[in-house]
């Protein structure tokens, strides 16, 4: 299930774990894991506006553990690195 956050410019970002839309099985969850880590996952965040999607590496139960501000900070950090 996607998690939506809105930044200070009014852009709503929809974040979802990679491969989550295929089905809810063990293989897809494993495919989303970052290689060499036990508890880090690839997450794709897509904007409602003109910005480009970003791919993040987030730890654990990111959907519940990360605050909106933490997700937005991760998005901004990734955008600056691109």
% of residues, the chain, pLDDT over 90: 56
Q: Using CA atoms, how far apart are residues 58 and 45, in angstroms rounded to an integer?
A: 12
Question: Residues 62, 77, 34, 28: is their CA dihedral positive or negative?
Answer: positive
Q: Using CA atoms, how far apart are residues 19 and 30, in angstroms rounded to an integer?
A: 9
Which tens digits make up the pLDDT trace of 43-67?
Answer: 999 999 777 999 999 998 899 999 9
H-type helices in the chain, by residue range?
Answer: 26-32, 62-65, 68-81
Indicate the pTM of the whole model.
0.79
Domain ranges of the chain: 3-81
% of residues, the chain, pLDDT over 70: 77
Helix (H) or strand (E) segment spanning residue 25: none
């Amino acid at each position: 299930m996607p998690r939506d956050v809105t930044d200070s410019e009014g852009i709503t970002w929809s974040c979802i774990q990679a491969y989550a839309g295929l089905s809810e099985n063990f293989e897809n969850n494993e495919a989303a894991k970052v290689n060499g880590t036990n508890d880090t996952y690839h997450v794709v965040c897509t904007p409602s506006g003109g910005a480009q999607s970003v791919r993040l590496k987030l730890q654990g139960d990111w959907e519940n553990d990360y605050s909106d501000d933490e997700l937005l900070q991760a998005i901004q950090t990734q955008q600056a690195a691109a």
